[in-house]
């Protein structure tokens, strides 16, 4: 058995603007740990259970160099740039093709793949590692694509959900999935929470390499049928350190549809299993998620930097520059105020999910200097 991992790290993290930027998105920010960025923490969590040489990071051409600098312990050829932005299904097809090329001494039936993310808070790490080990063993012996479902603690509208039914075995915590559900409105989310058999979709997937490739070919042939050619294109370059993408795959990759693995495969594949988590989890997707997880003062505020608050409650106020002193008030509640060297962003905390709209407006108005 050969255990491998793919970490998807090509996202732009626009909802953390202005702290996140095009060349330094949230996976490269120290959001939950002052000493380690999100991607470094993702590697830390799987040390000891998956060899560093067997971890592959798929990112963008813009971020490839920065990620290599951030992760000197990962072989530079294992930090791979996509030729174009094509969502998670082509991203995982690319990862699968590289693994298929590299491990010729192993049959695809003996290779397991853990698909992990670079922007989640998970603890304790030991419980998470136990889950990965369990799912690798399960997928090795079962024709299934598995995922980790998170037991909801609130009616969250920012996450997708997985509907589950009975456990396969009474004590192993693994369920059959009935259906994947997209991000719901608040009323639907409350209904999911009340029903009790809906879990948050963690976005992590586990599978045996041969089964995943076959299912992708059967359910999303526009992507799956290209894996063999992608693999051949890497055959003679498996240890090559590309600055940017492998030029031999550009045409193939650009022709693939822009589609997520959830839409393209998980909602269609015959067999999906779900392990219910036994660890604390949160997706650091927006400023309000950092507010939930940050240490608050007596007024319920998450603060950092040189500032003075007056009658401010339940807010995030971060001053990330030493060039100016910030004061906020009076009588502000549930606000996000982020100040950097070159930008200031202010919005209601309840609108934090929509910051991407602001970023898109900045793009459309050709003000890319601030992105």
- Domain boundaries of the chain, sorted by first residue: 2-285, 288-370
**Confidence band for 276, pLDDT divided at 50, 70 and 90:** very high
**Quick one: CA dihedral 200, 11, 5, 95, positive or negative?**
positive
Question: pLDDT tens digit string along 160-214?
Answer: 999 998 777 656 789 999 999 999 999 999 999 999 999 999 999 999 999 999 9
The topology under which CATH files domain 2-285 is Spore Coat Polysaccharide Biosynthesis Protein SpsA; Chain A (3.90.550)
Q: How far apart are CA 224 and CA 8, in angstroms?
A: 18
Q: Are the beta carbons of 143 and 108 closer than 8 angstroms?
A: no
- Do 64 and 244 contact (CB within 8 A), yes or no? yes
- Round to whole Å and give the CA distance between 92 and 278: 26
pLDDT for 152 beyond 70: yes
Q: Residue 367 has what pLDDT? A: 80
pLDDT at residue 266 greater than cutoff 70: yes
Which tokens is 261 given? 């693995």
């Amino acid at each position: 058995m050969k255990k491998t991992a793919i970490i998807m790290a090509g996202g732009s993290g626009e909802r953390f603007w202005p702290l996140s930027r095009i060349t330094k998105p949230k996976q490269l920010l120290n959001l939950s740990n002052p000493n380690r960025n999100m991607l470094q923490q993702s590697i830390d969590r799987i040390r000891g259970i998956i060899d560093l040489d067997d971890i592959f990071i798929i990112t963008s051409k813009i971020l490839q160099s920065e990620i290599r600098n951030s992760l000197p312990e990962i072989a530079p050829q294992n930090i791979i740039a996509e030729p174009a932005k094509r969502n998670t299904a082509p991203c995982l097809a690319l990862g699968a093709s590289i693994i298929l090329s590299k491990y010729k001494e192993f049959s695809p039936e003996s290779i397991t793949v853990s698909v992990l993310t670079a922007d989640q808070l998970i603890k304790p790490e030991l419980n998470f590692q136990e889950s990965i080990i369990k799912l690798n063993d399960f997928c090795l012996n079962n024709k299934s694509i598995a995922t980790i479902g998170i037991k909801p603690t609130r009616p969250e509208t920012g996450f997708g959900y997985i509907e589950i039914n009975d456990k396969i075995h009474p004590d192993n915590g693994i369920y059959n999935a009935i259906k994947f559900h997209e991000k719901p409105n608040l009323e639907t989310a409350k209904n999911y929470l009340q029903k009790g058999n809906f879990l948050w979709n963690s976005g992590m997937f586990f599978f045996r390499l041969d089964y995943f490739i076959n299912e992708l070919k059967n359910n999303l042939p526009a992507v799956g049928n290209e894996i063999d050619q992608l693999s051949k294109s890497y055959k003679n370059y498996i240890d090559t350190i590309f600055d940017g993408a492998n030029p031999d795959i550009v045409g193939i990759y650009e022709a693939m549809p822009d589609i997520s693995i959830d839409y393209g495969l998980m909602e269609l594949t015959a067999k999906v299993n779900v392990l219910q988590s036994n660890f604390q989890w949160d997706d650091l997707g927006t400023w309000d998620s950092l507010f939930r997880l940050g240490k608050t003062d007596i007024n319920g505020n998450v603060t950092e930097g040189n500032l003075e608050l007056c009658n401010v409650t339940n807010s995030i106020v971060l001053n990330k520059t030493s060039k100016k002193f910030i004061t906020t008030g009076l009588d502000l509640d549930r606000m996000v105020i982020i100040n950097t060297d070159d930008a200031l962003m202010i919005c209601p905390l309840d609108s934090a999910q929509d910051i991407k709209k602001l970023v898109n407006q900045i793009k459309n108005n050709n003000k890319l200097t601030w992105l």
